[in-house]
Structure 1
């Protein structure tokens, strides 16, 4: 592995350590022992849930390949997952407000465990069922846990400012450290111990089961609007009215969908961006570097949100500008740096510049997550929190499905040297999906 990768990883690790160790009293918020116990319990559960999610990601595409499925069939499975999250996940996730957020979190665990179990079958229909279950679980993960946290936090009478501590720590550990450790653990199971590509899914199911046991034994139930006469359709209408009548909620949803859309697009395309000529790049190590950059961002966010005089809306404007500039780097380097035409080899100079830019974007992602969580806790009404949060994911899932489908067509266009979209759609079954999804 080239020295460059170690230098980037080492520099990020040093900065993260320096920020965490240099925190002063003004960067910390004095809290009560009761809150600390509550926070630690939630972070434990959230970390277990994220471990169950991160363990699966790197091996989904690989598992489907080992079962002998072609690129077109695998692509359909990926699109089905996002489509399921948009259709079924929105409905199931929205039920959390009426049926209970704790029940929804337990449903997430059960649904995702069942999805993991389907990975043992090579049957295409069973795998498709697993993707549908996984899509539903994703919607619950992105709404039910946060909704439970905000409601329980307020019910116990904790200071609203303390929410930012829980958000930043959860992202720092769950989307940073846990992601890195999960990647290494998955690699240990599959490569070192030779347990096969289905072993990370079994490990994920175990972590999810442990997390579910903690939820059942230590969490209380809370609701949004448990009114008896309200059906799901009425609930949807109420959420739609809340979004349409409050400009801040509508703008918050647009911000979330647009930023997460760019994030998913980045996940799909960072590999071809760094290796346009099939350069040999250490995907696992780069992924770990991205997660370390995300930890850096969440560490910065915790400092920013600790300052009561600084509004989240103010610094997030800068975060969006920096994020956009980072994702423009591949276009800029195309014009400023002569592209290499040599196949294979090590990462190019343009690739090195882009990698630094991508790490900057991941740091912005680390700031974005706890910050958007705090904004949602401020603007989204409690009685329809899960429903509105799942509404926000509808345009996101549509966007991701469109990106996946059109990239499939672009790959065919490159292979067949044609821009006839009708002909490309007829060859759709031959298109390569994105193995980083």
Structure 2
């Protein structure tokens, strides 16, 4: 029978897939969504002849083709029009924030997010001018007014939640952040006020969304984090806040490199640097360090080393001042040096840089100590320094039991896997016996 869905047929041809390969790709993405899919080539044949797949697999189909073709795929391109993905008239940013935060603020309802758990390497990024235009025509309630006091309240709440996140991880703090979006930030965004106050509120809201997205990423809810980051970009654009816009792009680059999407990470890091032509030295170091990490993971050694030198030079120029939310300090710089060296094959040099990063790190960053301390131990083990690695892991466990973090749980599991072949060593046995009761649920 001839294909009735010619758009899907053309897309399959462009992807150079067989029907069976389409089915297997959709099944793999479905697994990431928590779906147990068993599609085969006959299912794709049905789609081609006009059968509409179940709604819950729509995002899996879009993402499978997006990954294969390295570009965003729209519902129209798949040939199922308005039945797939988001509706043509998508809700505005504030409405989307309410919907997103309303589910995320209640851990018992997070399963409803479903496809929010799916990270898309081909997701569209809202441009800075587009976001400005989007908020320029946003309708506000002239009967309700906001002032600087409301902006200060949002900023203060974001700082407090950030401090809790640094010390204890985001598992408990994120519902609080989401509730604050729904109950406080979203209503403020609907209210009127002087233009400078409006922009300050959009900027404060963008910072808060960025933090909430970071906590979602820390919990390995990467698709959800991506959605929060996208809202932060839109809000920062509306505020004409280049700093927060670039910081968010850089955070998205960090997420991409952590997930192994090296090329996408480099694109996002480069976009952040391009969008911030007036950046001061600390911000330049912040961006160049991430560009170096992404380039190194992509295998571009000359670019990685050049960007790393730029980051070091910019950090030398940066003023010594109090740390602020989202800041970049010498400890962070040495972490990037370690990541670049490791990606380029210099494990011993990476260990040296991570030790310096640890020495310079402020004590408040407990979760960072857990993650990077465990990473340091893993690399020491790679170069044969087993007993030193055990000592580092012991220090990691001192903090681990106080932190609620998905990424810290990942480091715990990596430790248990790494030490298993060395159980004859007394230090390893002691570490194992101590760590075993701390296993994450």
Q: State the TM bucket, normalised to the shorter chain.
A: under 0.3
Higher RCO (CA < 8 A, seq sep 6+): 1
- With normalisation by structure 1, the TM-score equals 0.27
Structure with more helix by fraction: 1
Higher gyration radius (CA): 2
